[in-house]
Chains A and B, each alone.
Chain A
């Protein structure tokens, strides 16, 4: 893990969830497509710094549904809700991400 802000940490939450639902190899391939390298513990080793981490999170969420289908949408969004609540971060701040 190189640097963590709340969006990068949210991306790791998604990575962990996809590991559990779709397996490591499929998840890693998907993340590589977005220039993000993750290790076997779903930690981010390298990521695309040409866009903001917020935009990176949104890009992953948008593409994820195309790649994995509707189950991925449901299971990762609930993971994000849990993560934000656990961190005492208002969900209002993320309405555009969570809808």
Chain B
């Protein structure tokens, strides 16, 4: 599909069976990207929703889900962490699916499992750190999970779809940009830096995660990165460039410049 013809109010196919079903609003700095995998084999269909969004996003995302699949086929929801912009709509999705006799498993890390139930979620949990960091679908398709602690949550992780070599990267590789483009352009690196420099805790954490992703890139290949915010990074060369970018940026430096110290020091002096 030509970029200029893209209509963001519909689901957009980004690979044979992967769809962008995100929320788009003009003039917003941080939009949420939700994704859908529709895995078909013989007579079975299994749909996996990835970070399906907030309550305000829900009508738009539901419309896009229905463009691509039937609700009864939703079997898993991957929640990369517990933030409301990715999780808050889950009870609404559950209500629709359970009302027609379906059932869902919530795929997440045990750290997020402490918090996600506070949204009123009722599905069974599939805790990746107790399941060998992988999920195997009925078709045999395998999703691998990579732990990215403290980026930006202690239990943060990303998902690698072995079949399509797609990395669903949660907040990693996300960007802040008022000019939304589904695919990263020449200035997206600045948008990525803008997001990571102040949002991620420390460059040591970032480097630790990037070194793992680089190993996966070299061994298996990563064809695209689908972040939760910002633009999709498409193509292996570009993916490599962005891994290098995040290996080498500075972040977590609020400790160096924070003017609350002024009143703390003043009060200590008396």
B176 touches A79 (CB 8 A): no
Residues 225-270 (chain B) with a chain A CB within 8 angstroms: 249-251, 253, 256-257, 259
Tell me whether B191 is interfacial, beta carbon within 8 Å.
yes
B112 nearest CB across to chain A (Å)? 26
Tell me whether B35 is interfacial, beta carbon within 8 Å.
no
Contact partner, A20, options B193, B251, B257, Cβ 8 Å: B193
B130 nearest CB across to chain A (Å)? 37
Q: CB-CB < 8 A to A3: which residues of B?
A: none
Contact partner, A75, options B198, B249, B253, B256, Cβ 8 Å: B198
What is the bound-complex CA distance between A98 and B198, given in angstroms? 14
Contact partner, A21, options B177, B198, B249, Cβ 8 Å: B177
How many chain A residues touch the partner (CB < 8 A)?
Answer: 22
B29 touches A20 (CB 8 A): no
A82 touches B190 (CB 8 A): no
Known A-B contacts A21-B176, A22-B178, A23-B179; the reply to A79 vs B194 at CB < 8 A is yes
Tell me whether B197 is interfacial, beta carbon within 8 Å.
yes
A98 touches B257 (CB 8 A): yes
Q: Closest A-chain residue to B194, C-beta based?
A: A75
Q: Mark B173-195, 1 if CB is under 8 A from A, else 0.
A: 00111110000000111111110
Nearest 4 pairs of A and B residues by beta carbon: A20-B190, A78-B197, A75-B194, A82-B250
Interface residues in chain A, defined as those with a beta carbon under 8 Å from any beta carbon in chain B: 16-17, 19-24, 71, 74-75, 77-79, 81-82, 85-86, 91, 95, 98-99
